[in-house]
């Protein structure tokens, strides 16, 4: 058994059945992804297009690749043919571009609306108000090649459990509110990373994005 496979089994054993694990492989080589793949993992997350594309090309085609990081509009075309889910839709213009490129590929791409819940300026996302405006629009007809599956949020990078919990809970509550107000279904709530996924699940997350706890620490970060 490899370290990666041990880590993976350990984390999976703690996750409730309804929670999906996205193994965040950014900065790590395909050899490590291969280890996770052999251990059975099929959903991987990357945050840069220029890293995702070569990994997609080199790895088995039954992998579901999730784009989890900030996405520039001009790069959507490179991932539109194959990406399985985009967690980081943080602007309407980006959603329009994804819809356009998905159409060119005769695809419907699963997307999450990223909502800004942290106290840090460096994090991205729609405000609750902007997200509500989008979710209240006739988005299935406006963007027929996009499927809005739910919401994504990143909590503050903080040891303050109460604050992080408040942030996660605010997004979980917002999701329920949107579903009721607009009579829509948002099945996915993507919240939680290595240091806070347990708390995120307690607060209602059903998709966690875990990197360093599986693959080890990254030598560089962005
Ligand atoms: C890197 C990253 C993760 C994983 O972070 P870890 O702390 O390594 O688990 C999750 N989500 C996003 C958006 C990321 O960029």
Contact by Cβ (8 Å): 67, 52: yes
Q: What are the tens digits of pLDDT across the range 103-157?
A: 999 999 999 999 999 887 777 899 999 999 999 999 999 999 999 999 999 999 9
Q: To test ligand 1's pocket by mutation, which of 198, 209, 210, 215 has the most ligand atoms within 8 angstroms of CB?
A: 209
pLDDT over threshold 60, residue 222? no
Q: What is the pLDDT of residue 88?
A: 98
Tokens of 113: 């609306």
Model confidence at 172: pLDDT above 80: yes
Task: Give the range with max mean pLDDT: 121-125, 208-212, 218-222.
Answer: 208-212
**CA distance to 56, 114, 131, 142, 208, per residue, from 178 (Å):** 34, 14, 9, 18, 21
Please state, for a pLDDT cut of 70, what percent of the chain lies above it. Answer: 99
Question: What is the C-alpha to C-alpha distance for residues 85 and 64, in angstroms, rounded to an integer?
Answer: 8
- % residues pLDDT > 90 (the chain): 92
Q: If you count them, how many residues does the chain have?
A: 222
Is pLDDT at 52 greater than 60 in this prediction?
A: yes
Closest CA to 114 of 64, 185, 174, 184: 174
d(CA 190, CA 22): 9
Query: Is pLDDT of 92 > 70?
Result: yes
110, 149 contact by CB (below 8 A): yes
Q: What's the gap in Å between 136 CA and the centre of ligand 1?
A: 29
Q: How far apart are CA 163 and CA 147, in angstroms?
A: 31
Mean of pLDDT values over 78-107: 98
Predicted pLDDT of residue 152:
98
**Residues 135, 151 contacting (CB under 8 angstroms):** no
d(Cα 208, Cα 34) in Å, to the nearest integer?
20
Is the distance from CB of 101 to CB of 80 less than 8 angstroms?
yes
Q: Which residues line ligand 1 (CB under 6 A)?
A: 24, 26, 47, 68-69, 154, 193-195, 209-213
Give me the sign of the Cα torsion angle 69, 134, 190, 31.
negative
Residue 22 CA to ligand 1 centre (angstroms): 10
Residue 221 has a pLDDT of: 53
Residue 207's H or E segment, with its range, is strand 207-210
pLDDT given at position 168? 98
Whole-prediction pTM value? Answer: 0.96
């Amino acid at each position: 058994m490899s370290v990666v496979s041990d880590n993976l089994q350990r984390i999976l054993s703690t996750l409730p059945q309804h929670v999906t694990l996205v193994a965040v492989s950014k900065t790590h080589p395909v050899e490590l992804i291969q280890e996770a793949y052999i251990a059975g993992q099929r959903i991987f997350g990357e945050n840069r297009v220029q890293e995702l594309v070569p990994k997609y090309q080199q790895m088995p085609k039954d992998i579901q690749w999730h784009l989890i990081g900030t996405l520039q509009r001009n790069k959507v075309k490179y991932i539109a043919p194959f990406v399985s889910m985009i967690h980081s839709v943080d602007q309407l213009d980006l959603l329009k571009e994804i819809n356009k490129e998905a159409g060119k590929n005769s695809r419907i791409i699963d997307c999450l609306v990223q909502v800004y819940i942290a106290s840090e300026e460096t994090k991205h996302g729609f405000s609750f108000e902007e997200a509500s405006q989008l979710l209240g629009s006739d988005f299935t007809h406006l963007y027929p090649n996009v499927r809005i599956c739910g919401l994504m949020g990143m909590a503050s990078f903080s040891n303050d459990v109460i604050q992080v919990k408040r942030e996660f809970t605010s997004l979980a509550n917002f999701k329920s509110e949107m579903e009721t107000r607009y009579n829509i279904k948002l099945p996915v709530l993507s919240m939680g990373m290595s240091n806070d996924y347990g708390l995120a699940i307690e607060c209602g997350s059903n998709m966690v994005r875990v990197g360093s706890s599986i693959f080890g620490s990254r030598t560089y970060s962005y």
